[in-house]
Amino acid sequence: MPKLIILRGNSGSGKTTVAQKLQHIIGRNTMLIPQDYVRRELLYARDGDDSPAIPLMTSLLEYGHGHFETTIIEGITKSDWYSPLFKRAKELYKDEVYAYYFDIPFEETLRRHATRDKCGDFGEKEMREWWNDKDYLPYLPEKTITEDMSAEDIVNMILNDIGYEQRS
């Protein structure tokens, strides 16, 4: 049965770093669907409940389910706007959905953002506008990621949750 890993949270919380590490460790046959890339680069679209990213990400999710052992979705993916995506995820993946919410304080996301390559693309003003405090999904159980957890701690927890065994 294919597995789905969902990494959600505010900008600068560490989702992309963890997603990329997971894809690299799990290896081939792992599809990564980064919300920012789909929305900002592929579609050059604004976010919202009518964003064209939602149906495209849903199509990518369905493709991932049919063709990959593991699919990873990462992004802010606001719970109300992206509910069609997550409801479809539950239909497809059933009990093989592993969801994580990065509940990191705003000040820490600012600090982390300042260390990123794209820190010049946007700043504190935009991050405040995008902020969604405690935006947990009401229809999927999510584990909480906190600021005291390192990227390696998070990756190891997720690998353990999905039953990943290191391949020789």
Q: 22 is in which domain, residue-wise? A: 3-161
Q: How far is CA 102 from CA 94, 98, 129, in A?
A: 22, 13, 18
Helices and strands in the chain, H and E counts: 7, 5
Residue 168 lies in a domain: no
Please state the domain count of the chain: 1
Give Cα 93 distance to the centre of its chain: 16
pLDDT in tens, 76-124: 999 999 999 999 999 999 999 999 999 999 999 988 888 877 777 887 8
Residue 30 lies in a domain: yes
- Distance, in Å, from the CA atom of 87 to the CA atom of 109, rounded to the nearest integer, reads 28
CB atoms within 10 A of CB 5: 26
Residue 137 lies in a domain: yes
Predicted confidence (pLDDT) at residue 41 exceeds the cutoff of 70: yes
Query: Is-contact 45 53, C-beta < 8 A?
Result: yes
Q: Look up the CATH number of the domain holding residue 137.
A: 3.40.50.300
Question: Structure pTM?
Answer: 0.94
- Distance, in Å, from the CA atom of 168 to the CA atom of 146, rounded to the nearest integer, reads 32
Residue 167 lies in a domain: no
- Distance, in Å, from the CA atom of 43 to the CA atom of 53, rounded to the nearest integer, reads 7
